[in-house]
């Protein structure tokens, strides 16, 4: 098991397998159209698998594929199959769901264990606006198909934004009563230069609104670590989770590192330090050398992030290439 300088066990790797996206969510894409990388600047399938193999030997048990939009990768099914074959017990993927209907069965058959779908609203026009052209119906039928394929329980990621979609938080919570879905409210993080704290609807407020309409939320304990604080409504089939990166620090329990679409290890989402793997790999680095770079990343992982400091208003440069 790999531990960092602060004795945190790091067993979770999130890999952004593309910086490209078919959508352009208002809170994710940078203010200006982001620079997109050329195909040969992004990790190949073989490189992703090599990184996963070294990371697994380093103590990583959980891998999440993200992006950009990971289902844009033509080799996504081979990647899922290859990562499972490398002996990763817990493989998950985060998607905007637009291509899920067509891919859900193959993903399940290739060995995908879990799925998160980003879904910020259940209103078609609003969905189009938030995502820059997404079709809600395609996403919801993709989710249904994923459930039929056995990729259940699906986690739905919702970023409540004041005045945009925060009037739907109770509706989303209500969804968990009848369906075994896991609805997760993620606090809006500063990934755009015009980020405004007032737009971020904090978890405490979301919880208050849900409890006022639907009754008390019962705290639930789950095995495994992670930033989500989980609850259930009385008698509900599903779960309500809060990821409160802005209002609560969970750095003391952080178990993850990221690899960006261009092959850089990012020890902390909120810190710009990155360690390049791509150039060394392409220059013939051995697995031992890649392992040394992972160790270096572990040793540079900071103790905490700057989000608590209101004077420091740096934003995450590009959520879509780091992977959120
Ligand atoms: N394209 C995929 C999707 O949308 O699910 C995967 C990549 S996306 C960057 C991963 C997650 O990051 C999504 O659930 C998205 O809602 C979240 N995200 C992006 N920008 C965010 C922000 N500023 N604050 C909080 N979450 C954000
Ligand atoms: Fe694309 Fe996902 Fe970012 Fe939306 S949240 S722009 S779907 S990467």
- Going from the N-terminus, what domains does the chain have, and what CATH number goes with each? 12-321 (3.20.20.70)
Mutate to test the pocket of ligand 2, among 14, 21, 142 (most ligand atoms within 8 A of CB): 21
Predicted confidence at residue 252, as pLDDT, reads 83
Predicted confidence at residue 308, as pLDDT, reads 53
Mutate to test the pocket of ligand 2, among 23, 121, 260 (most ligand atoms within 8 A of CB): 23
CB 218 within 8 A of CB 228: no
Q: How far is ligand 2, taken at its centre, from the CA of residue 261, in Å?
A: 14
What gap in Å lies between CA 320 and CA 314, rounded to an integer?
Answer: 17
Rounding to the nearest 10 degrees, give the CA dihedral for residues 43, 49, 54, 58.
100
Predicted confidence at residue 245, as pLDDT, reads 86
Closest CA to 204 of 244, 174, 245, 162: 244
Predicted confidence at residue 227, as pLDDT, reads 84
Ligand 1 touching residue 207 (CB < 6 A): no
What gap in Å lies between CA 31 and CA 194, rounded to an integer?
Answer: 8
CB 15 within 8 A of CB 323: yes
Predicted confidence at residue 315, as pLDDT, reads 54
Main-chain dihedrals φ then ψ at residue 143, nearest 5 degrees: -65, -40
Closest CA to 323 of 10, 92, 60, 108: 92
CB 311 within 8 A of CB 185: no
Predicted confidence at residue 270, as pLDDT, reads 78
Predicted confidence at residue 265, as pLDDT, reads 96
Using the atom order of ligand 2, give the atom closest to the CA of residue 98.
7
Residue nearest atom 25 in ligand 1 by C-alpha distance = 188
pLDDT per residue over 80-99, tens digit each? 999 999 999 999 999 999 99
Lookup result for tokens 């979301």? 206
What gap in Å lies between CA 256 and CA 2, rounded to an integer?
Answer: 11
> Which stretches of the chain score pLDDT less than 50?
310-313
pLDDT per residue over 92-130, tens digit each? 999 999 999 999 999 999 999 999 999 999 999 999 999
Predicted confidence at residue 215, as pLDDT, reads 97
Ligand 1 touching residue 320 (CB < 6 A): yes
Ligand 2 touching residue 321 (CB < 6 A): no
Structure tokens at 149: 């394929």
Give Cα separations from 13 to 58, 135, 175, 267, 313 (angstroms): 11, 30, 30, 10, 26
Q: How many helices (H) and strands (E) does the chain have?
A: 10, 14
Closest CA to 136 of 100, 175, 170: 100
Closest CA to 93 of 69, 65, 68: 65
Q: How far is ligand 2, taken at its centre, from the CA of residue 218, in Å?
A: 31
Ligand 1 touching residue 17 (CB < 6 A): no
Predicted confidence at residue 260, as pLDDT, reads 95
What gap in Å lies between CA 181 and CA 169, rounded to an integer?
Answer: 15
């Amino acid at each position: 098991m790999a531990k960092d300088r602060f004795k945190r066990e790091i067993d979770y790797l999130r890999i952004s397998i593309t910086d490209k996206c078919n959508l352009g969510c208002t809170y994710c894409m940078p203010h200006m159209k982001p620079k997109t990388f050329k195909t040969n600047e992004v990790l190949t399938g073989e490189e992703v698998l090599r990184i996963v193999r070294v990371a697994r030997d380093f103590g990583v048990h959980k891998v999440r594929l993200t992006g950009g939009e990971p289902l844009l990768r033509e080799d996504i099914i081979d990647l899922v199959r290859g990562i499972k074959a490398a002996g990763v017990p817990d493989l998950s993927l985060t998607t905007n769901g637009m291509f899920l209907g067509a891919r859900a069965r193959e993903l399940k058959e290739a060995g995908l264990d879990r799925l998160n779908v980003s879904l910020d609203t259940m209103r078609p026009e609003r969905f189009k606006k938030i995502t820059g052209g997404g079709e809600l119906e395609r996403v919801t039928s993709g989710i249904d198909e994923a459930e039929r394929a056995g990729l259940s329980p699906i986690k739905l990621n919702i970023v409540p934004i004041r005045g945009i979609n925060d009037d739907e938080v109770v509706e989303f919570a209500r969804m968990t009563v009848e369906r075994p879905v896991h609805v997760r409210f993620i606090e809006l993080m500063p990934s755009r230069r015009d980020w405004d704290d007032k737009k971020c609807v904090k978890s405490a407020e979301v919880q208050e609104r849900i409890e006022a309409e639907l009754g008390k939320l019962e705290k639930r304990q789950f095995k495994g670590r992670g930033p989500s604080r989980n609850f259930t409504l009385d008698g509900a089939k599903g779960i309500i989770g809060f990821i409160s990166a802005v209002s609560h620090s969970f750095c003391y329990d952080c178990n993850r590192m990221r690899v960006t679409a261009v092959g850089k290890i990012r020890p902390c989402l909120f810190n710009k330090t990155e360690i390049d793997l791509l150039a060394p790999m392409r220059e013939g680095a051995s697995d031992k050398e890649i392992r040394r770079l992972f160790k270096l990343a572990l040793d540079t992982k900071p103790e905490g992030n700057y989000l608590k400091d209101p004077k420091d208003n740096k934003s995450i440069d590009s959520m879509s290439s780091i992977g959120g």
